[in-house]
A and B are shown apart, each in its own frame.
Chain A
Amino acid sequence: MDIDDILADIDREALPQESLDLQELTRAWVTERVAPELLPYPDALMERVSARIRRQIELVEEQTGNMDPKTNFSLIIIQTELERFKFLVRSFLRARIAKVLIRVRKQYLSAHHALLSSHYQASFLSQFPPLLQRLDDTAGGVSMVDAPDLDSAVFVRVLKDVGVVSVEGTDTIFEMQRGDVFVVRWRVVRERVLVGDAELI
């Protein structure tokens, strides 16, 4: 550990919870906007952030009547930042809703599909050779079932030395070191992103 490390650690510890939460919220938002699937909801973080937003709104409401030009300008800054925070939270939630809707739609579709497949079975599929009767075939690399593509490519920044990573089913092997940026399948780095060793960008 040299002096840089010590300084960096002290720097980091000096950050107030508010700043750490802003970093975490920003990262959660980017991850949700970029990842192909719905990720765990950061309960504690969202509770802290919403409580602070609520208090800040109250503060603005109390001080709006104040005509002192100096307070007035501070209020403009506070409100500008408030809007930025509200945007972050809203966009984060809307990105999640978009993914949840896909889930709900999937429930509807599976009910619909059950009806449809029994109808197909009764009317014509039963007369096909057994090999062609399946509706969930993945032959030829084309799946008949549509699901979130966990193999789609993502951009990722490595925050902690991870070591050598291989992509199952291919010859691709690469080393992930702190500071590196890679384009890689989501499935390969998913766990690393969830524990915080890497972040999506």
Chain B
Amino acid sequence: MALPLPRGLTPPEVAFICEMELVTVIPRQRLDALELLGGPTPALRPPHRNNIPLWLALLLKRQRRANIVPPPWLQPAALSAILEFETKHAKDVFSPPPKLPPSADGSNMTSPPFLPSSTADAPPDALPYHWLELGEMLLNAAPDDFEEPDQVRRLMRDLREVRMAKLRAGVDVLDAGGGVKMNGVGGMEVAEGRAFIGGVIDGLRKIGASREQSRREGEADGGANGYGRTADYDDDEMDV
């Protein structure tokens, strides 16, 4: 009954989420609109393009009922440009992800996989959250919908290696407090790095726990007496 899995999503679970991403298809057969549990799907009329969830696109593709339009960022030129940025311009951080849509009154809480970041009109210059999973699934299920699948595959592999190296090198900046910014990290990369990165931060915190505890007590005392600043100052002096 109980889930026998450790905390954190497994790679198959990340792939499951990725299958909710919208992709663009060119239907080869008509399909009426359907009332699904997650909302309606559009009626498909060849040769009009439509955006549908990836799981449905893969099902249609497998039955040769539709072709999938690879997202613009999954084209060789776009991938090369992103790869160049990752290696030459941003040596320590990931390339910036597509921006979340504007939320003027703070009520727009939509986030991946429910943003259209992999449809045919998605931006070409940013890797979305599910870039790795989505790219691999499309290359496996629909290689004939790419102009140069091998080239795309090679660039994806290079990108993956460059970014994994950054993830590993990033361990240097981890500390007990956490608060490490990882903008642009991908879903599969989180799944792969979680145990290690979380383990390092948790380990550092446990090593420093007693020091942190005494400092917290000091802060509480200082605050109560109104001498917070002086108490901190004394602490610093002692460290020197």
Q: State the A residues within 8 Å of B (CB).
A: 1-2, 4-6, 8-9, 11-12, 15-16, 18-19, 21-23, 26, 30, 33-36, 49, 52-53, 56, 70, 73-74, 76-78, 80-82, 84-85, 87, 91, 94-95, 97-98, 101, 138-142, 149, 151-155, 157, 159-161, 165, 167-174, 178-185, 188, 196, 199, 201
Q: A19-B114, A184-B180, A199-B111 are in contact. List 9 more A-B contacts (CB 8 A).
A: A5-B102, A5-B103, A85-B38, A95-B5, A97-B2, A151-B202, A169-B213, A170-B175, A183-B197
Known: A77-B34, A94-B2, A159-B100. A201 touches B20 (CB 8 A): no
What residues on A are CB-neighbors of B129 within 8 Å? 201
User: Cβ of B39 and Cβ of A22 under 8 Å apart?
Assistant: yes
Chain A CB within 8 A of B140 CB: no
User: Cβ of B37 and Cβ of A169 under 8 Å apart?
Assistant: no
**CB within 8 Å of A: which of B106-129?**
106-111, 113-114, 129
What residues on B are CB-neighbors of A2 within 8 Å? 102
Complex Cα–Cα for A193 and B161 (A): 32
Known: A77-B56, A153-B201, A184-B180. A178 touches B103 (CB 8 A): yes
Complex Cα–Cα for A22 and B36 (A): 11
Which single member of A4, A49, A170, A173 contacts B212 (CB below 8 Å)? A170
Complex Cα–Cα for A94 and B100 (A): 31
Complex Cα–Cα for A188 and B178 (A): 10
Known: A174-B179, A182-B181. A74 touches B102 (CB 8 A): no
Which single member of A22, A30, A142, A183 contacts B180 (CB below 8 Å)? A183
What residues on B are CB-neighbors of A1 within 8 Å? 104
User: Cβ of B179 and Cβ of A78 under 8 Å apart?
Assistant: no
User: Cβ of B100 and Cβ of A98 under 8 Å apart?
Assistant: no
* B29: nearest chain-A partner, CB-CB: A73
